[in-house]
Amino acid sequence: MPPLDFVIRDTVARAADACRTLITGPTNELERRRRFIREQRALEKSLAQKCRNDFIEAAGITPKAFLKMAMQGLPHPHKSNIRYEDESATFFTVAYKGLGYRGDYSINFKDMDFEGGTVKNTGAKRGVGKRMFAQHVVSALYFGLSRVNASASLELGGYTWARAGAYIKPHDVPNTSYRLQRRLNAIVDFLDPETYSNVAELVMLAKRTDLRKIAELNKILPDIAPVWEHVHQHEISMAKPYSFYRDRKIVKGDNMTLGQFLLLGLRYEIYFNLRDPAQMSRLERFTGVPIRDRAAINREKYPRSITKRPVKPWLVMR
């Protein structure tokens, strides 16, 4: 706490400055600051109007109508907006937040590309995060896009996305497979030879569905916490200790499933092929949201009006 005499002197000085401003008017510096703020607000207002007009031209729907559709089913929405990423291209970011959650994703109408962005849920309702991402996919389907890209985070994403049925991007397969093999070797004593052989084949990631099959390995690894901590100390970019998952009740006590041990804490790039019926069915079961039906209803309820058609969307040839 500062000395009392300093507090008194500081208070008197502040009062003198305030009186001087009232008597002589604002200083040149204060006036320049006020003028800058006015100009900044005017610029933001003009950009907001331009952004709105450009979004309507590219999307064929007003931002207000789209945001209402995009946040369908999410609890207590507080704020949402659409902003420019690049004024020279039809590249927009949709950002929103509500009670205990917030998220964002990007839509590039020029390249017909969709980035899944971030999903953060700190509220009590754990299922909100799944519904948030489901709405991202609903938006992509509404615009006729064929693919959604996203990144698995270091905390839960590697395991969660795999359970959702995501496909790992080809360029990330070698590195992810190598890290999975290292983790598998760390728990070889916990597995019988047949199980080890089957899992060793899966971690090669030779098939797109192998990632999901790894996540579904529900064999319990008892008292695995010390082994996790050892791997945590020696694996690059493995950010979270075992206590992080135990405190959040993601794991029970010192036990983990085999799928959790292999995938929690991994980072890799993933995608969803929206024209793959099997993958979409898996995603709908995982999120509990009828994504395709909801997108179809939205297309009828919010018809698009496009005067200038964007380029033909690229297809996923796999």
Confirm if 70 and 139 have CB atoms less than 8 A apart: yes
Mean pLDDT of the chain: 81
Say yes or no to pLDDT of 307 above 70. no
Residue 313 binned pLDDT confidence (cut-offs 50, 70, 90): very low
| Partners of 150 in beta bridges | 270
Greatest distance between any 2 Cα atoms in the chain: 88
* Range of lowest pLDDT (7-21, 22-36, 237-251): 7-21
- Residue 211's pLDDT is 94
Least confident of 31-35, 70-74, 104-108, 180-184: 31-35
Q: Please write the tens of the pLDDT for every residue from 275-295.
A: 999 999 999 999 999 999 999
What average pLDDT does the segment 185-204 reach? Answer: 93
- 40-76, pLDDT tens digit by residue? 555 455 557 788 888 888 888 988 899 988 888 888 8
Hey, what amino acid is at 315?
L
pLDDT of 133 strictly over 80 = yes
Q: Look-up: residue for tokens 């135990």? A: 246
Average pLDDT over residues 290-303: 93
Comparing 92-101, 191-200, 294-303, the range with the smallest average pLDDT is 92-101
Q: Helix, strand, coil: what percent of the chain each, to 5?
A: 50, 15, 30
pLDDT at 316: 38
Among residues 102, 233, 214, 101, the alpha carbon closest in space to that of 164 is found at: 214
User: What does the alpha-carbon distance between residue 110 and residue 115 come to, in Å, rounded to a whole number?
Assistant: 13
251-259 mean pLDDT: 90
Tokens of 276: 């793959």
pLDDT in tens, 111-125: 888 988 888 887 666
Task: Give the range among 19-23, 97-101, 186-190 with minimum mean pLDDT.
Answer: 19-23
Question: Quick one: tokens of 153?
Answer: 């985070």
- In which band, very low, low, confident or very high, does the pLDDT at 266 lie, cut at 50, 70 and 90? confident
